[in-house]
Amino acid sequence: MTTERRVLVHADRAALAGSVAARFLTKMIDLLDEQDEAHIVLTGGSVGIEVLAAIAALPARDQIDWSRVHAWWGDERWVPTGHADRNEHQARDALLDRIAMPASNIHPFPASDEGLDLEAAAQRYREELLAAGGGDFPTFAITFLGVGPDGHIASLFPERDGPRVAEPGVIAVHDSPKPPPGRLTLTLPLINQSERIWLVLAGADKAAALGLALAGAAVADVPVGGVLGTKRTVFFIDDEASSEVPESLIAPTSYWTGAMDQAEWTVGED
């Protein structure tokens, strides 16, 4: 099956967040016209949370029937409920507390104060996902991902076991190189079952990871290089993050199509 990877460049961080927010609302309106419900996966990080805040700031947010949208997370830090470092906490502040999404549609990872160890917490989230999908994992319509300067996505870090896990699911991370060492994360095969994966990254410190990902670096070394949605994968970046990508590939409408080991770029719209 042919899928697509695109790179869309924005002038600066603010333009990036605003553009992704507008695209998200437009796509959600279209999806909910076609299907009963939609599952989305949220991310943390400064740019990811800026996108959520930009969604909340747009009047079009009220055109979405949020009762038909389920929110999940790609990963979470192993800290207590309500901790400022939790992706869930930040997402609630930026967006979820500002829209009419039922509490039952919000699916945070377990927290460290819920009486579970990391392995049990991973298993519980896996079971929650399977229950929502009627015995299989739900189809994620849109999965947001941030990208670290080292090329990590979710809590799948280079030179760790996480990126090498071959099965869709949820895993515990005990040795994160970024604090805290304990994390919970979706595996790359489950992330790649998403219909659309939107990677949002800004800053010159992300340029090398982006360049390596587009050049086909090994997934174990640059996990973001292994990301590929079933319909489309889009890198939404600012100008600074584009500095190590050839100019011919970074026009605002440039995108890559085909299998991950090909190198054909063409022009099109998201």
State both tokens at 208: 């090398």
Q: What is the pLDDT of residue 70?
A: 98
In this prediction, residue 215 carries a pLDDT of 86
CA 216 to chain centre: 20
> Distance between CA 122 and CA 128 in Å, rounded?
10
pLDDT at 250: 54
CATH topology of domain 7-237: Rossmann fold (3.40.50)
Cis peptide before 223 (omega within 30 of 0): no
pLDDT of residue 247: 60
Strand ranges of the sheet holding 75-77, from the earlier edge strand across to the other edge: 75-77, 183-186, 170-173
**pLDDT for res 183:** 98
With contact defined as beta carbons under 8 Å apart, do 154 and 186 qualify?
A: yes
For 58, 135, 179, 181, the CA distances from 155, given in Å and listed in that order, are 30, 25, 11, 10
Residue 259 confidence (pLDDT): 34
Which letter does DSSP use for residue 200 in this model?
Answer: E
- What pLDDT does 148 receive? 96
* Residues 33 and 80 sit within 8 Å (Cβ to Cβ): no
- Contact by Cβ (8 Å): 99, 61: yes
Residues 6 or more apart whose Cβ sits within 8 Å of residue 64: 25, 28, 29, 32, 99
Mean pLDDT by 10 residues, the chain (270 residues): 76 95 97 97 96 97 97 98 97 98 98 98 98 97 97 97 97 96 98 98 94 90 96 94 68 39 34
3-state secondary structure of 109: coil
Token pair of 112 as six digits:
């460290």
